[in-house]
Structure 1
Amino acid sequence: MTDSADQISASYPVPTYRFRVAVDGEEMAFQGVSGLSLSFEKIEYRDGMGGRFQMPGQREALNISLKRGVVSGQAQFYEWMNSISLNKVEKKDISISLTDDAGTGLFVTWNVVNAFPVKLTAPDFDASSNEIAIEQLDLVADRVTVQFHQ
């Protein structure tokens, strides 16, 4: 069974941007997200009798990387990065959602609290390609919560 040209053009190429990142109500698409992890410092306590005990300490900061983003006509990450001055930065809440192939249905959403940018990398420039507007954006945040969708 052959597909018509309209069916093929509607389904190909297979979409590679499956993460939606929302900041201040604006959404962007990214190919990769890393660093969404929860971790705590480990505190070791030794009593006077030779006993050794371990317990969780403070929550460690999140180091999140957003890779290969398409932000056509949106300069908010560049403006956010350039607004940092004299150790002052506006911290923002961000939501990162994993979507289905069509980009409409949500599987999981990570809500990142008090994030701010620490590094913004531009793509390698190539006249034959215009797909990527941000190669990598590194953020630091206080915490993350996870929401699973039906």
Structure 2
Amino acid sequence: MLYPPPAFRFSVTFGSAGRNRDNAFREVNGLGPELETEALVEGGQNTFVHLLPKAAKHPKLVLSRGVATMESGLLQWCQEVLEGGLAQPIAPQLLHVFLLDQDGGPLRVWAVRNAYPVKWSVEPFQSTRNEVAIERIELAYAGSNRVA
């Protein structure tokens, strides 16, 4: 096993059963918490500022890939949430991001809890480029942790 592992082989599953596997992502970005802090100036001391911890926050998880077919379960879920006008309650999903070894087995696994789409966009089309059409799906989530 290589250490550190290369980051170019990965996959994403979504749903509690993990049956909806989608390996076609170009990039996954936004894994991991960040601790917010509040600055507190020390009274009578002008030489330093205390940074007090607040709550942990999570950036949006951004998935980038070639524009998917209409059969994509992830695309169907995004359409239900983003184009449904909130007629139905949003059903958050459990996602897993797998960093894979050369044989396709998981080296590392991150669980992303209570994720739901907040933005779906397509990168600009340009007649001067010869590249794949890319879509970006941004997900808000309640928390993540590395499970393996």
TM-score normalised by structure 1 residue count: 0.68
C-alpha spacing 1:145/1:70, structure 2 compared with 1 (3 Å): farther
Within 5 A, what are the aligned runs for 1:43-82? 43-50=38-45, 52-68=49-65, 74-82=71-79
Superposed displacement of residue 40, structure 1: 1.4
Within 5 A, what are the aligned runs for 1:1-150? 18-24=9-15, 25-29=19-23, 30-50=25-45, 52-68=49-65, 74-84=71-81, 85-86=85-86, 88-102=89-103, 104-122=104-122, 135-148=135-148
- Secondary structure of 1:62's counterpart equals coil
Instruction: Report the more deviating stretch, 114-123 or 68-77.
Output: 68-77
**1:85-116: CA deviations, max 9, x gaps?**
338421111001011233x2111111101111
C-alpha spacing 1:17/1:72, structure 2 compared with 1 (3 Å): farther
Superposed displacement of residue 71, structure 1: 5.7
Contact kept? 1:28, 1:69, Cα under 8 Å: no
- Secondary structure of 1:83's counterpart equals helix
| Structure 2 residues not aligned, in runs of 5+ | 1-6
Superposed displacement of residue 72, structure 1: 6.0
Give identity over the alignment, percent. 23
Superposed displacement of residue 66, structure 1: 1.1
Superposed displacement of residue 73, structure 1: 7.0
Q: For the pair shown, which has the larger CA radius of gyration, 1 or 2?
A: 1
Superposed displacement of residue 45, structure 1: 2.5
Q: How many residues align?
A: 128
How far apart, CA to CA, are the structure 2 residues paired with 1:31 and 1:139?
16
Instruction: Report the more deviating stretch, 48-57 or 75-84.
Output: 48-57
| Structure 1 residues not aligned, in runs of 5+ | 1-15
Match of 2:112, as an amino acid?
Answer: V
TM-score normalised by structure 2 residue count: 0.69
Contact kept? 1:19, 1:31, Cα under 8 Å: no
